[in-house]
Amino acid sequence: MMPVHAHEETPATMDGEPARESVIAEAGARRLPRRAVLRIAAGASALVLTGRALDIFPMLERVAASDLPASGSAETGAAHQWAFVIDLRRCDGCGACTKGCQKMHFLASDQEWIKVYPMVDAIGGEYHLPVLCQMCERAPCVQVCPVTATYHLPDGPIVVDQSICIGCRMCMAACPYGVRTFNWRPGPEVPSGATHDGPLFQAPQRLGTVGKCDACAHETREGRLPACVTSCAMEAIYLGDFVTDMATNGRATVGLSQFLRENDVYRLKEHLGTEPRVYYVAGHGQRVEF
């Protein structure tokens, strides 16, 4: 309204530049609706962006909101919710799990999806710590992937779709446990019958992408145990399932929650709030005879 009014008035004030003022007024009259549209659009997008921005802190929301039990809380309706229990009292650091895993996934010998670290405990005792993907329920690697190439399966494992991965290695930066490996070189030959493409099982590994422990998702689907579990002669690695509340190392089967409760389990870097699904039975640096 106002600009139009001004437009009618300007011709009266003649002091050499009448045309300019009326041009401004006219422009103002024309611009007004566009400004309004822009303002509405800006407001709307600000709202949307604020909503999206909150998504950036999903961990914060979930940490604040949840009283997560030490069980798979990911309520996906999947038939299983996988976890691992590693009995450090039994692990002798032989590395058979690493080799079994490499054989299963056709990995080069320098690619270790389960690493066995020699460790020293608080009182100088030595023990061995096998570290595979911790299957974090709040996984930093999933959060930072720019192209959603790495994601949770409904039953817990985190996999990489190597047909999408751009190889930026941001997930390797984000993973607090250092379990991700990069395919710097072409992988070893895979027998022709065994090649497979897909996030559940990728053989051979694709050059220039990130690979990691997939908790042998392709095996557990078929009712078989992960390679690290079956290859551990010490029977130190258990595959657990929160849905059926059972865990097995291939020979013995135990009740998962009871086993966790009775054995003073701990998880790696709990303070980071990543909610890993790999539980360790403390080894106190001693081999337990059995």
Binding interface with another protein (CB under 8 A): 52, 55-56, 58, 115, 117-119, 129, 131, 140, 143-148, 164-170, 172-174, 176-178, 180-186, 207-210, 268-269, 272
Shortest Å distance, C-beta 204 to another protein: 13
Q: Of how many residues is the chain composed?
A: 290
Instruction: Compute how many other C-beta atoms are within 10 angstroms of the C-beta atom of residue 142.
Output: 16
Residue closer to another protein, measured from CB, 59 or 247: 59
Shortest Å distance, C-beta 51 to another protein: 11
Cα–Cα distance, 71 to 245 (Å, whole number): 10
Shortest Å distance, C-beta 271 to another protein: 9
Residue closer to another protein, measured from CB, 208 or 250: 208
User: What are the tokens at 274?
Assistant: 């990543």
Instruction: Compute how many other C-beta atoms are within 10 angstroms of the C-beta atom of residue 103.
Output: 11
Phi-psi region of 215 (alpha: psi -120 to 50; beta: other; left: phi over 0): left
Residue closer to another protein, measured from CB, 254 or 281: 281
Residue closer to another protein, measured from CB, 151 or 243: 151
Residue closer to another protein, measured from CB, 20 or 261: 20
User: What are the tokens at 193?
Assistant: 């019958």
Cα–Cα distance, 187 to 195 (Å, whole number): 12
Contacts of 80 (CB under 8 A, 6+ apart): 155, 156, 220, 241, 242, 243, 244
Shortest Å distance, C-beta 47 to another protein: 15
Residue closer to another protein, measured from CB, 211 or 254: 211
Shortest Å distance, C-beta 148 to another protein: 5
Residue 158 φ then ψ, to 5°:
-105, 125
Residue closer to another protein, measured from CB, 212 or 218: 212
Shortest Å distance, C-beta 79 to another protein: 27
Cα–Cα distance, 266 to 83 (Å, whole number): 13
Q: Tell me the C-alpha to C-alpha distance, in Å, between residue 194 and each of 39, 197, 244.
A: 59, 10, 31
Mapping DSSP to helix (H, G, I), strand (E, B) and coil, where does residue 128 land? strand
Shortest Å distance, C-beta 259 to another protein: 24
User: What are the tokens at 226?
Assistant: 């992960």
